[in-house]
Structure 1
Amino acid sequence: MTTITHRKSRIAVDTTTPDASPENLAQLKDFYWTRESEPHVLRRKQILAKYPQVTKLCGHEPLTKYIATGVVLLQFLSAYVLRDTHPLSWKFVAWAYVVGATANQNVFLAIHELSHNLGFKKPMHNRLFSIFNNLPIGIPYAASFQPYHQLHHKFMGDDALDTDLPTRFEAVVLSNVLGKAFFATFQILFYAFRPMCVTQIKFTAVHLLNVMVQLAVDFLVVRHWGWYAMFYFLMSSFLAGSLHPTAGHFIAEHYVLNPSYPATKNADPSTRTLAANLQPETFSYYGPLNFFTWNVGLHNEHHDFPFVPWTRLHTLRDIAREFYEPLPQIDSWVMVIVSFVSGRNIELWNRVRRENETKLSLDEKKKQTEYN
């Protein structure tokens, strides 16, 4: 028994034997709401109780800075080579898709590693190096990513603080085939602008430095290599978060991709209680694309132990195999995108969501006052 409910109808639902008949798999009209704690804290405690040696896997990975530097230099070399090639030519687009997008996805996820202070021992060194890694993205991104991503880990599924969650507006407007195709194509823009619309973070000196360094390098690239080189960086960034194989991880990580758990048969769909059978909130992928993406596919492992670097996530899985093998897995990031766009039962609603504790406590106090 767990409590996964509609916002307006918090009813405990017995989901141990869900009826997955076709008539019950109605299209979702709301998120999977729950008051249960996110699963990673509990599993971390269980793993540490049985395998305390896992703590030795935590810490920075010196190899990260060398690989990340190589990828950044590869992107600058590519921009230089393509500086006289028209951005709409087949050569430019093909190189930007195959090489540029893969490289910039690697850059995005190098910044992700650095946001957990896994590249250097000192946090400030990680922040400064992430600004260097930001350069081939073309727009300042690294300094803002860290605080928003830390909120995602600390308050996973939180209605007000987890900016990885699609907004209600997104879900209402885009939960159809054309809308999902639009979302999958332009998802990098959603991840870039949604956080600023959902919650605000403090603007610091590191943010200012990120902006200044990025604009200075962009200016130098345009002045000495021309606009085509700059377009290469921007196109690479766009394609990295669009219909690209490595971009499948954005959807694969936390969307409920096997919604075999039905909505209960309430007369009014707007107050339907959603059964979730301890619905898994995080999915791991163990395929070859992890080679290009710092093993981000091992996402259950990462959320359980965010201070274990990319080189040791497989070791973590091997040590605690009985905890991870039973969990649902993703076989293909490419098919995740295809299924997301074309699947009737996979919408932007397919995320587990929690009421923000501050808002929830205020709502409950208000209800108690009204009742009394």
Structure 2
Amino acid sequence: MKPDPRLIWIIIMMFFTQVVAFYLVKDLDWKWVIFWAYVFGSCLNHSMTLAIHEISHNFAFGHHKSLWNRWFGMFANFPIGVPYSISFKRYHMDHHRYLGADGIDVDIPTDFEGWFFCTTLRKFLWVILQPLFYSFRPLFINPKPISYLEVINTVAQIIFDIIVYYVFGIKSLIYMLAASLLGLGLHPISGHFIAEHYMFLKGHETYSYYGPLNLLTFNVGYHNEHHDFPNIPGRNLPLVRKIAAEYYDNLPHYNSWLKVLYDFVVDDTLSPYSRMKRPPKGQEVLE
């Protein structure tokens, strides 16, 4: 349970890699702008959202420098194009403290999502639109007063987006935004959204993933381990599993996020309702 200072340098390198990509795509045809947004930019931007997840747990600078982590989270937010780092921190801590609590944990889909996105075609559309639902769901489930850090996050992000537009042009700006929208929607890495807490097996509400995409996602696939030990950075979660193998090796887990997405879409028994929802006071209700 200690900070992972390597995060700082990895995130800085990711930031400048995306800036170089802004330069490389600025004069391409639109079809290639979108192509590279999906093939390359989407992976980088989704990975950056999971870097922000690490920062939200104060793994970059440690708990004794929590404000440093908030500022650095805003920096990591820049290549994503949409301000969310500070808001994510506020809601993600609720997810850990009140997992599945109705009206508190905004990771739980709304009743509308569960009711409407219940067929194969509609679930496919829901997967594509996941970033929009994750963005707007908190406003309907558990709206919080806007903090001064969220205002700063928003203003700083808008300034960065304007700089990208004036320095590189509209194609680079669209590349950045498309990379986030595509990377958080119908994309292999996005399988982690569903793999983490959707009950493919009744009674098992949290699952780990031990496939190769952990290399791009700061080991977010080690999700049982992360919820058990939220103060251990992703770099050390494989060690947790190794030390406590008797607790983790026999739990249901995944080796392919792509298969998770496919199974979720085609399996008629699965939908956004396939989550454990708890009343705030703790009595469990299985939907």
Which structure is richer in relative contact order (CA contacts within 8 A, separation 6 or more)?
A: 1
1:105-139 residue CA offsets vs partner (Å, 9 max, x unmatched): 11100000011111112111111000000001111
Distance in 2 (CA, whole Å) between partners of 1:253 and 1:195 is 19
What is the root-mean-square deviation of aligned Cα atoms in Å?
1.2
Alignment correspondent of 2:235: 311
Give the greater-gyration-radius structure (CA): 1
1:254-298 residue CA offsets vs partner (Å, 9 max, x unmatched): 00113xxxxxxxxxxxxxxxxx4xx11100001100000000000
Distance in 1 (CA, whole Å) between partners of 2:179 and 2:80 is 8
Counterpart of 2:270 (choices 343, 346, 353) is: 346
Distance in 2 (CA, whole Å) between partners of 1:127 and 1:206 is 8
Distance in 1 (CA, whole Å) between partners of 2:99 and 2:155 is 32
- Contact persistence 2:4–2:233 (CA under 8 A): yes
Distance in 2 (CA, whole Å) between partners of 1:337 and 1:247 is 8
Paired amino acid for 1:356: P
TM-score by length of 1: 0.74
The answer to whether the aligner puts 1:108 opposite 2:49 as a matched pair is yes
Alignment correspondent of 1:53: none
CA apart distance, 1:240: 1.0
The answer to whether the aligner puts 1:175 opposite 2:118 as a matched pair is yes
The answer to whether the aligner puts 1:237 opposite 2:161 as a matched pair is no
How many equivalent residue pairs? Answer: 281
1:150-174 residue CA offsets vs partner (Å, 9 max, x unmatched): 0010000101100000111110011
Distance in 1 (CA, whole Å) between partners of 2:222 and 2:35 is 29
Paired amino acid for 1:249: H
Alignment of 1:1-372 (within 5 A): 58-87=1-30, 89=31, 91-121=32-62, 122-258=65-201, 276=202, 279-357=203-281
Paired amino acid for 1:107: M
Distance in 1 (CA, whole Å) between partners of 2:75 and 2:29 is 27
- Contact persistence 2:33–2:171 (CA under 8 A): no
Distance in 1 (CA, whole Å) between partners of 2:167 and 2:212 is 38
Q: Percent identity?
A: 40
- Contact persistence 2:101–2:279 (CA under 8 A): yes
TM-score by length of 2: 0.95
Unaligned stretches of 5+ in structure 1?
Answer: 1-57, 259-275, 361-372
2:224 aligns to what SS in structure 1? helix
CA apart distance, 1:337: 0.6
Paired amino acid for 1:180: K
CA apart distance, 1:76: 1.2
1:256 aligns to what SS in structure 2? coil
Distance in 2 (CA, whole Å) between partners of 1:132 and 1:86 is 29
Paired amino acid for 1:340: F
Unaligned stretches of 5+ in structure 2?
Answer: none
Distance in 1 (CA, whole Å) between partners of 2:270 and 2:257 is 15
Distance in 1 (CA, whole Å) between partners of 2:115 and 2:29 is 39
CA apart distance, 1:305: 0.5
Displacement over 4 Å in runs of 4+: none
Which structure's residues are more often helix, by fraction? 2
- Contact persistence 2:264–2:270 (CA under 8 A): yes
